[in-house]
Amino acid sequence: MIPCFNHGKFVAEAVASCLAQEDADVRVIVVDDGSDDGTTPAACDAVASERVRVVHQPNRGLPAARNRGVAEAEGEWRTEYLAFLDADDWIEPTFVSKLAAAIDHARREGPTDDVFHAYCQEKLVELGQGFWRVPEWDAELMLITNLHPVTALIRRDRFDELGGYDESMTLGYEDWELWVRAVGRGWRGVRVPEPLFIWRRHSHATMIHDAVARHADLVRHIIERNRATYEPRFEALYVRANRMLREFDCNWIDESGEPIPLRYLREAHAALGPAQARAAELEAHLAQAAQGAQALLARAEQAEASLAAASAQAAQARAQAQAEHAAYERMIAVRLHHKLYAIARRLPAPIRAMLRLPRDAARKVMHADESPPA
């Protein structure tokens, strides 16, 4: 089930990740929850296919959109498991197969059939970084704080027994409230310690941050709806929550109302801001210097290549000149000239002078022919 409100630019990627599941027969239902950005309804319609159904409804909020998707999954579209994926996130190809295998294993090995769902670790991308390495299932701790993301694999029959999401919880924590109701039934989750769900944070303003801002009111609503689950466990929950405060060194509170170590951490983090900015500036300068050095190296390599080319041309010209000289020396006339010259050099000087007379006369005639007329 992929609810979508004004996230049309991401929905195709979310759908593709569902259709790419390995060893699983997957059907996808996209619920356009009254998008009003002018593009998302068409983007949703564009992903429709034999395995992808798209429905549109007036804006009713995230829980109602998820429930609408489940309601559409009847007949041939009814499946053993459900998974809820926000339109701007995606899942890895083995998400369904590995989580389904974990559920099957837990049901075979457990003393009772108490499994409600399987969940996995979360990888944060883009503006978010790192991993949410979710803990093992702990029913008591789930009543104190949410333990894992909404994108899990849920047994359809058990989801129907719970009646789906609380559609009044449009401000957040609707997934946590569903897990709490499962705890109230004595059901549990099974952890797969792999990051098979990818949460894309593409904006500084997120639904999670909005929900955290309303934390007290939302927790009060969860407790009120599930009072029969909380009241018998009140003492155990109170003791555990207080023990957690002490174990995490957050029980010492000053006049600000904040735990002292936590306030020190926040102050230290704030002080790191200028240092981080300076480090980023230095890193930018280093990157610029590295680019300059790279450019100089490229120019040096280009000059070296040009020099090598010129040297090769000079060697070629020298070889050609040597070849031409050798060919000249092999000419008969040249060889005869060299022999005559050698013989002439061995003659007595008076004879050599007589031999030069015809040559000198010929030169005078040639010079006379080249002289301009008077």
**In CATH terms, is domain 2-226 a member of 3.90.550.10?**
yes
Tell me which of 152 and 324 has the higher pLDDT.
Answer: 152
Confidence of residue 252 (pLDDT cuts 50, 70, 90): confident
pLDDT tens digits, one per residue of 129-168? 899 999 999 999 999 999 999 999 999 999 999 999 999 9
The pLDDT, as a whole number, for residue 20 is 97
- Cα dihedral sign for 78, 168, 10, 85? negative
Give first-to-last CA distance, the chain, whole Å.
114
> Is-contact 181 113, C-beta < 8 A?
no
Evaluated on CA atoms 327, 332, 333, 338, the torsion sign reads positive
Average pLDDT value over all residues in the chain: 90
The pTM assigned to this predicted structure is 0.72
Least trusted range by pLDDT, from 113-117, 118-122, 169-173, 365-369: 365-369
- Give me the pLDDT at residue 350, please: 75
pLDDT for the residue numbered 339 = 77
Chain position carrying tokens 């957690």: 244
**What distance in Å separates the CA atoms of residue 130 and residue 124, rounded to the nearest whole number?**
5
Condensed to tens digits (0 to 9), the pLDDT of residues 43-87 reads 999 999 999 999 999 999 999 999 999 999 999 999 999 999 999
| pLDDT at residue 241 tops 70 | yes
- % of the chain with per-residue pLDDT over 70: 94
Residue type, 24: A
CA dist 294 and 301 (Å) reads 10
Residue type, 132: W
- Is it the case that residue 370 has pLDDT exceeding 70? no
Q: Is the pLDDT of residue 203 over 70?
A: yes
Share of the chain above pLDDT 90, in %: 60
Res 216 pLDDT > 60: yes
Confidence (pLDDT) at 340: 73
pLDDT grade for 367, boundaries at 50, 70 and 90: low
Query: What pLDDT score does 371 carry?
Result: 58
Between residues 35 and 296, the one the model is more confident about: 35
Mean pLDDT comparison of 58-62, 212-216, 305-309, 365-369, highest-scoring range = 58-62
186 touches 215 (CB < 8 A): no
What pLDDT, on a 0 to 100 scale, did the predictor assign at position 363? Answer: 66
What distances in angstroms separate CA 41 from CA 18, 23, 147, 290, one per listed residue? 19, 31, 33, 47
The Cα 364–Cα 21 span in angstroms is: 104
pLDDT at residue 314 in the model: 83
* Residue-range domain boundaries for the chain: 2-226, 331-370
